[in-house]
Amino acid sequence: MRTTVGRNGVKKIKATGLVPAVIYGANQGTQPLSINAREINNLLARAVSEHVLVDLEISGGEQVQNRLALIQEVQHHPLRRNILHVDFHAVREDEKIHAEVPVETLGEPAGVKNFGGVLEHSLHSIEVECLPRDLPESISLDVSALNVGDAIHVRDVALPSGVVAKAAPDLTVVRVAAPKVEVEPAAGAEAVAQPEVLKEKKEEPAAAKPPEKK
C-alpha cells in the first residue's frame, strides 16, 4: 500500500525503484499502491497487450491482501518510455468481465503469396465477455488459406470455451484485397487535343474612296 500521495510523494517512491499505481473496482474504494518497477516491466515485456490479468499480493495493512485485477491502463514517459503509473481494475472470479483482446495473424495468405494480394487488418482487437480466469491473452487467426477477396469476420473467429465476442458478427477482422494495378498510358499514344478557342474576328475599317473627278 502507498501512503504518500501527491507530486513529492511520487518522486520519493520512484527514487526507490517503485512505480505509483492505484487499484479500484469490485465495489471497493480506490487504493494507492506502489509496485516494483522491474517486476512490472518484466511482466509487460512478456505480455502481448497491456490488458493483463494479474494476482496482486498487497502488503502494508494489518494483513496481506490477495486481489485479482486487470491491468486497465499503463502510462509511459513520452520519450524514455519507462512506466510512470499503472491502473489496476479489481475483479471478482465469479463475475464476467468485458475486455479488448488483441488479434494476431498466423501464416501468409495464399492470395498474397501467389497473386500479389494485400492483407488488410481491419480489427486489431475484439471485445469479449468471459470470467476473469477464462480471458485469453490474444486471439490467433490462421490466414494462410485466404485467397484474394476472402475475409474473416467476427462470427468466423473460434474463441476458447466460455469466451463470447461482443463485437458485431458482420465486422471484418482481416481480408485479402486485390493488388493495386497502376494503368500506364499506351506507348505512342497521341496527346489529347485541346479544344480550339475561337475568337471573334474584328471587322477592318473600309478603305476611303478616292475623290470623284469633275
> Domain 97-177, what fold?
RNA Polymerase Alpha Subunit; Chain A, domain 2 (2.170.120)
Residue 77 C-alpha from the chain's centroid? 19
pLDDT the model gives residue 141: 96
Short-list 40, 18, 21, CA closest to 31: 21
CA geometry: angle at 61 spanning 57 and 65, to 5°?
30
SS3 141: strand
Domain boundaries, the chain: 6-90, 97-177
pLDDT in tens, 132-147: 999 999 999 999 999 9
pLDDT in tens, 13-52: 888 889 999 999 878 889 999 999 999 999 999 888 777 8
Please give the grid coordinates belonging to residue 30.
Answer: 480506490
Cell 506507348 belongs to residue: 187
Phi, psi of 178 (to 5 degrees): -65, 150
Residue 42 C-alpha from the chain's centroid? 22
Please give the grid coordinates belonging to residue 33.
Answer: 499502491
Please give the grid coordinates belonging to residue 168.
Answer: 458485431
- What counts of helices (H) and strands (E) characterise the chain? 3, 12
Ranges of the chain with pLDDT below 50: none
Give the CATH superfamily of 6-90: Ribosomal Protein L25; Chain P (2.40.240.10)
For the chain, give the number of residues.
214
Phi-psi region of 6 (alpha: psi -120 to 50; beta: other; left: phi over 0): left
Instruction: Return the H-helix or E-strand segment holding 13.
Output: helix 6-15
pLDDT the model gives residue 206: 56
